[in-house]
């Protein structure tokens, strides 16, 4: 599973977990098992405020664009996040939502 992020200032934090082709977003499961190789599922067909576009399966890997919420003082790695490739099941480590100290 390959996650591509669009950072966005948001008051709600994001939690993710993967189990095979199922991505759990803030407690809600999205099962992409039925999406065949080479197919694309339009973003508007998925009822989630966190999925930021079409989901596709390329070379056996799901590609999922997600909103990455962050606080007002988020570090650079959160404001300019790198994609994440998931090979294992379980909770997903995300960039820090915010820093402890306000930026000048």
Over residues 18-37, the pLDDT tens digits come to: 999 999 999 999 999 999 99
Flag whether pLDDT at 55 surpasses 90: yes
**Percentage of the chain with pLDDT > 70?**
95
Could you tell me if 1 and 65 are in contact, meaning their C-beta atoms sit under 8 angstroms apart?
Answer: no
Query: Can you give the residue range of the structural domain that contains 32?
Result: 2-87
Task: Specify if 103 maps to a domain.
Answer: no
Which residues, at least 6 apart from 50, have a Cβ–Cβ distance to it below 8 Å? 14, 25, 26, 66, 67
Task: Specify if 93 maps to a domain.
Answer: no
Binned at pLDDT 50, 70 and 90, residue 104 comes out as low
Task: Specify if 94 maps to a domain.
Answer: no
Number of domains into which the chain is organized: 1
Flag whether pLDDT at 75 surpasses 60: yes
């Amino acid at each position: 599973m390959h996650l591509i992020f669009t950072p966005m200032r948001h008051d709600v934090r994001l939690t993710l977990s993967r189990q095979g082709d199922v991505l759990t977003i803030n407690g809600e499961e999205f099962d992409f098992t039925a999406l065949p190789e080479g197919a694309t599922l339009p973003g508007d067909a998925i009822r989630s405020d966190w999925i930021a576009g079409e989901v596709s399966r390329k070379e056996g890997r799901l590609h999922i664009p997600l909103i990455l919420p962050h606080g007002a003082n988020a570090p650079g790695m959160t404001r300019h996040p790198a994609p994440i490739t998931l090979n294992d099941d379980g909770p997903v480590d995300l960039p820090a939502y915010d820093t402890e100290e306000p930026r000048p």
